[in-house]
Amino acid sequence: MKGLVEQVKKKISIIGVPMDLGQTRRGVDMGPSAMRYAGVVERLEALNFEVDDRGDVEIGRPNKLDVKNDKNLKDLNEVVKANEILADAVSNAVEKGNFPLVLGGDHSIAIGTLAGVANKYENLGVIWFDAHGDLNTGDTSPSGNIHGMPLAVSLGIGDTSLTKIGGYAPKIKPENIVIIGARSLDDGEKELIKEKGIKVFTMHEIDRLGMTNVMEEAISHVSQKTDGIHLSLDLDALDPIDAPGVGTPVIGGTTYRETHLAMEILAERDLITSAEFVEVNPILDNKNSTAEAAVGLIGSLFGEKLL
Ligand SMILES: NC(=[NH2+])NCCC[C@H](N)C(=O)O
Ligand SMILES: [Mn+2]
Ligand SMILES: [Mn+2]
């Protein structure tokens, strides 16, 4: 499997997704600009990548009357529309042989990213950094926020208007997923994890084993039968001390250093074939430090080294 660092340097297609309708705290729509302002393009160009910034996917404004539905899926229509557009943009990038780098936006956009990637990779592996499981459905969600559902949706579980985005379902298989950094799971998510046998490295395992061992195990879990690996990194995986600008912070997360190390290990192994960095909310941030952390992590993922 060819990744992103060693091969003849791949062109990177950046796709911004100013989506804030998958949750209720405004401001996460400014995440893509915050990461651009923090220098993501320049950082990648300095590593000799050719970067094609495709701009932002257009997000509709919801009709207030549509917000409430009986499915416990907030702003469903606009979330579906934007994810269909994103799926197309991502699949175009993959078709051209480019590496898709998606900048969010709330985590509901993983539905579209995975729809765009998985139609090219039949056995896509997924490494999901998150404080949460994002394995809810309208039936199990305590909030009705679709950003808490993208992993379930991509497994083909949930409302069909979401699972059929991109025209096919499921996108991924439970045995090809690892979640890293979990410390807040709803009851329905815990059940789904058990039922599907999804591999989860909670903060407990990270404390016990250390990030190096967790990454070794995680990589061997997702690289066995897969033909590509997507990295989905929710900035709330990090501790709120290092990443304060997120809508659903949870105390006790990974440090910037640990997460940075995880990215360096992924770069060394050269396995990642697409990535997204989500949930950066500049309104809740401290002088853009969360966007800067995200861009630092992106640099490491793409092979940046000090010396
Ligand atoms: N992508 C995220 N930050 N998800 C947070 C989800 C929180 C909670 N589990 C919910 O479903 O509402
Ligand atoms: Mn999260
Ligand atoms: Mn998430």
Both structure tokens of 198: 């999804």
155 φ, ψ (degrees, to nearest 5):
-80, -5
Is the model's pLDDT at 90 over the cut of 90?
A: yes
Domains and CATH numbers, the chain: 5-301 (3.40.800.10)
When pLDDT is cut at 50, 70 and 90, the band that residue 95 belongs to is very high
Find out whether the beta carbon of 279 lies less than 6 Å from any atom of ligand 1: yes
pLDDT given at position 63: 73
When pLDDT is cut at 50, 70 and 90, the band that residue 3 belongs to is low
Is the model's pLDDT at 66 over the cut of 70?
A: no
pLDDT given at position 195: 98
Q: What is the four-CA torsion angle of 67, 23, 14, 61, rounded to 10 degrees?
A: 20
Single out the residue of 113, 17, 20 nearest to residue 61, CA to CA: 20
Find out whether the beta carbon of 136 lies less than 6 Å from any atom of ligand 1: yes
Model pTM score: 0.96
pLDDT given at position 7: 52
Q: For the chain, give the number of residues.
A: 307
pLDDT given at position 221: 98
Is-catalytic flag, 107? yes
Chain mean pLDDT for the chain: 96
Chain CA centroid to CA 260, Å: 16
Is the model's pLDDT at 9 over the cut of 90?
A: no
Residue 226 CA to residue 13 CA, distance in Å, equals: 22
Q: Are 201 and 218 in contact (CB under 8 A)?
A: yes
User: Region 166-180: what's the mean pLDDT?
Assistant: 98
Is-catalytic flag, 147? yes
Distance from the CA of 203 to the center of ligand 1, in angstroms? 17
User: 180: alpha, beta or left, given left = phi > 0 and alpha = psi -120 to 50?
Assistant: beta
Both structure tokens of 79: 């979330």
Kindly give the interhelix angle for 211-222 and 256-269, rounded to the nearest 10 degrees: 40
Residue 129 CA to residue 22 CA, distance in Å, equals: 18
User: Region 73-93: what's the mean pLDDT?
Assistant: 97
How confident is the model over 98-119, as pLDDT tens digits? 999 999 999 999 999 999 999 9
Is the model's pLDDT at 69 over the cut of 90?
A: no
* Residues less than 5 Å from ion ligand 3, measured at CB: 107, 130, 134, 234
pLDDT given at position 303: 97
Beta strands across the sheet bearing 272-278:
51-56, 12-17, 99-104, 272-278, 228-234, 124-129, 177-182, 199-202
**Percent of the chain topping pLDDT 70:** 96
First-to-last alpha carbon distance for the chain, in angstroms, is 27
Is-catalytic flag, 234? yes
Is the model's pLDDT at 278 over the cut of 90?
A: yes
- SS3 letters across 18-49: CCCCCCCCCCHHHHHHHHHHCCHHHHHHHCCC
Find out whether the beta carbon of 210 lies less than 6 Å from any atom of ligand 1: no
Lowest mean pLDDT among 13-17, 58-62, 174-178: 58-62
